Homo-oligomer: A and B are copies of this chain.
Amino acid sequence: MTTADTVWPESIGAELDRTGPVPLYFQVSTRLEHEIRAGNIAPGARLENEIAIAERLGLSRPTIRRAIQELVDKGLLVRRRGVGTQVVQGQVTRQVELTSLYEDLDNAQQGPATRVLEHEVRPADPASATALGVTEGSDILYLRRQRLTGTTPIAILENYLPADLADLDRDELEQRGLYQLLRARGIAIRIAKQKIGARRAEGDEHALLGTERGGPVLTMERIAFDNTGRAIEFGHHCYRPDMYTFETTVVAR
């Protein structure tokens, strides 16, 4: 039964692929997300109840629940026991995903560019050694890059990587983002721990960013781990605050 004021686009149930590798819950959540972002389901609208959706699609309730949960976690839907599931009021914004700045810019189609300023294998200083979980003084790869969008500098990126990843060369790094290159080597970043802060520009940073000497910069420090829990990359970066902000959606548990 569908009560009068609930919503469910028929197209979501059309031609679900049960043979391919894409999970059913993911097919459903992807299509539902698309309908919401396209505005085909209005903010505040109530979805049909889970059991009705499950029957309509010929799926089980846990599968539907999982699809809905994906969008709850993204901040697109809100569930209330005894009431139902609703589309969130308020503008939908992009999530901070586990991607690199390069990919952010690439997706925004602003034509990212990279200049490799430094690229050398050097002994690990105490901070980098601790972050990467290697012994102090052992070889690590140090990178310093300037990131631009078009001709406007946006960030200065400093990274430290374990020595066995030192085969990344300058040309590759000017053409691709670091995470893209790592993925191409079969290394997937699974978890990252980040600290975001601010400070004055130091040294040559104001020159590289095209800002005033001693002006503010937005900073991020990150340690990234692969799916074995091994530290893959330690970085501290600074961004032009008039060109870049971090956006997040936080959902209460």
Which residue numbers of A lie inside 8 Å of B, CB to CB?
Answer: 43-44, 62, 75, 78, 80, 86-91, 93, 96-98, 133, 188-200, 215-218, 223, 225, 227-231, 241-242, 244-252
Query: Of B86, B93, B189, which one neighbours A229 at CB under 8 angstroms?
Result: B86
What are 10 A-B contacts defined by CB distance under 8 Å?
A: A75-B193, A78-B229, A80-B227, A87-B229, A97-B250, A192-B249, A195-B246, A200-B215, A218-B218, A248-B248
> Are B191 and A88 touching (Cβ within 8 A)?
yes
Contact A197:B245 (CB < 8 A) given known A90-B223, A190-B78: yes
> Are A198 and B216 touching (Cβ within 8 A)?
yes
> Are B197 and A246 touching (Cβ within 8 A)?
yes
B residues in contact with A229, CB < 8 Å = 43-44, 78, 86-90
Contact A247:B194 (CB < 8 A) given known A90-B133, A229-B43: yes
- Copies of this chain in its oligomeric complex: 2
> Are A193 and B249 touching (Cβ within 8 A)?
yes
B residues in contact with A191, CB < 8 Å = 75, 78, 88, 249-252
> Are B216 and A199 touching (Cβ within 8 A)?
yes
Query: Of B87, B91, B98, which one neighbours A250 at CB under 8 angstroms?
Result: B98
B residues in contact with A75, CB < 8 Å = 191, 193
> Are B98 and A252 touching (Cβ within 8 A)?
yes
Instruction: Give Cα distance in the complex from A246 to B89, angstroms.
Output: 26
Contact A89:B231 (CB < 8 A) given known A190-B78, A190-B251: yes
B residues in contact with A223, CB < 8 Å = 90
For residue A148, give the distance in angstroms from its CB to the closest CB of chain B: 19
Please name the residue on chain B nearest to A86 by beta carbon. Answer: B229
